[in-house]
Structure 1
Amino acid sequence: MPSSSATATQPNPKPRRTGGSVRSKDAHAEVLAAAAELLEECGFGALTIEGVAARSGVAKSTIYRWWKSKAELIMETFNTTVTQRLRVPDTGSVKRDLTIFIRELYRISSFPWRVNALRGLMTAAQFDEAFADVFRGWIGERRAVVAQILQRGQERGEIAPDIDLEHAVDLVFGPFWYRLLVQHAPLNGSLAGGHVAQVLQGLAPQTQT
């Protein structure tokens, strides 16, 4: 009976390639491409390093030398495929900048494998302390983009100067992560403007009475 594992989805495994601690660019790219394919085909949970090795033709031992865990491999795959470079909108309006950023963030709902990968990475970060540090660093890069947008808003007087910036960033990302993980409501780019407007109501400068 055919196996349902990720390895079985590769009918014609590539010839096995071995490598050392210095990554071959071609082999590195093949591993990431194989991981992306298998993520889309079978999801985070069913994906295995053995499956990636079979699909890419790169030895399992080599993959483990290059990445400490499946989660780290998937994170690099996600970054390479989806978010090679973070765009920092700068339109002169904090509302427009945040709406552009959040609309792009919510687009993940159009790609089920990306949603699955992010949920898997979040889960892995709860149980693997070493990966948790990597994951927090990755999240921190995205938080820094939003913090930069908010700081520019403060400089223009659109946002109160005394807000708790870390908490404000939490407010911006809260709907994304809560809806991604709990799945109680949709993530849709058309909702971005309304979500941003509600957040900014609480961050606006207080008018003097």
Structure 2
Amino acid sequence: MPNPPRARSGNRRDENARLAVLHAADDLLVEHGFGGLTIEAIAREAGVAKQTIYRWWPSKVEILLDTLIEDTAKRLPVPEKGLREYLHAFAGFVTGDPAGKVLLTLLAQAQHDPATAASFEERYLGPRRAEERDLITRAIDAGEISPRLGADALLDALFGPIVYSALTGSSPSRALVDALAEELL
């Protein structure tokens, strides 16, 4: 049942409306997929006017990016140490968390939409990979790992099979994540 319309808040973002839009987008994506996700449906579900959404976000991709950035900061922060544990947490995130579905959706959409790819790289992937590179650097400096690859290739080799498993509908097993860590670190 959609929420009742909210009072107009002018140009300033109403935090409750912003959160309602992010949650509505997340829920509708899980329920209907990217193709079925529309600004109209998000507005209806969030109880806000379409104009409110268009004033704050230029597209549904940008709404999903805000959702992803906020959710991963809360539910999958890059730790100071513990790369293996982080890999397991990431595997669980992409297969069992609604925000993981947002990540996979944006990855898939970026493959055939250059604007999505650019925004995804700039707003999410680039900053996230920088944090993950720092995690690897700290682990190397502490003598915890001795990787066989450079940092960027290592990130691709570690996360690629996990993402591929999730994108193809299978769950990356604990054994897969352990084997990746053991062989590459």
TM-score (norm 2): 0.81
Aligned-partner Cα distance in 1 for 2:112–2:52? 24
Deviations 1:118-170 (A, max 9, x none): 3321232234333322211311233223312221233244426x953221221
1:99 matched to 2:84? The reply is yes
Q: Residue 17 and residue 57 in structure 1: after superposition, are their counterparts in 2 closer, same or farther (change >3 A)?
A: farther
**Larger CA Rg, structure 1 vs 2:** 1
1:36 matched to 2:26? The reply is yes
- Conserved in 1, the CA contact under 8 Å of 2:24 and 2:46? yes
Offset of residue 195 of structure 1: 2.0
1:175 matched to 2:161? The reply is yes
Aligned to 2:107: 122
Structure 2 residue matching 1:58: 3-state secondary structure = coil
- Work out which of the residue numbers 159, 164, 169 in structure 1 matches 2:146: 159
- Conserved in 2, the CA contact under 8 Å of 1:172 and 1:199? yes
Deviations 1:81-137 (A, max 9, x none): 3433623142xxxxxx221111110112124x4454233212322343333222113
Q: Residue 119 and residue 48 in structure 1: after superposition, are their counterparts in 2 closer, same or farther (change >3 A)?
A: same
Gap regions ≥5 residues in structure 2: none
- Conserved in 2, the CA contact under 8 Å of 1:78 and 1:114? yes
Aligned to 1:76: 66
- Conserved in 1, the CA contact under 8 Å of 2:21 and 2:42? yes
- Work out which of the residue numbers 29, 43, 55 in structure 2 matches 1:53: 43
Aligned-residue identity in percent:
31
TM-score (norm 1): 0.73
Aligned to 2:77: 86
Aligned-partner Cα distance in 2 for 1:78–1:55? 19
- Conserved in 2, the CA contact under 8 Å of 1:150 and 1:159? no
Q: Residue 127 and residue 88 in structure 1: after superposition, are their counterparts in 2 closer, same or farther (change >3 A)?
A: same
Aligned-partner Cα distance in 2 for 1:87–1:163? 20
Aligned Cα root-mean-square deviation (Å) = 2.6
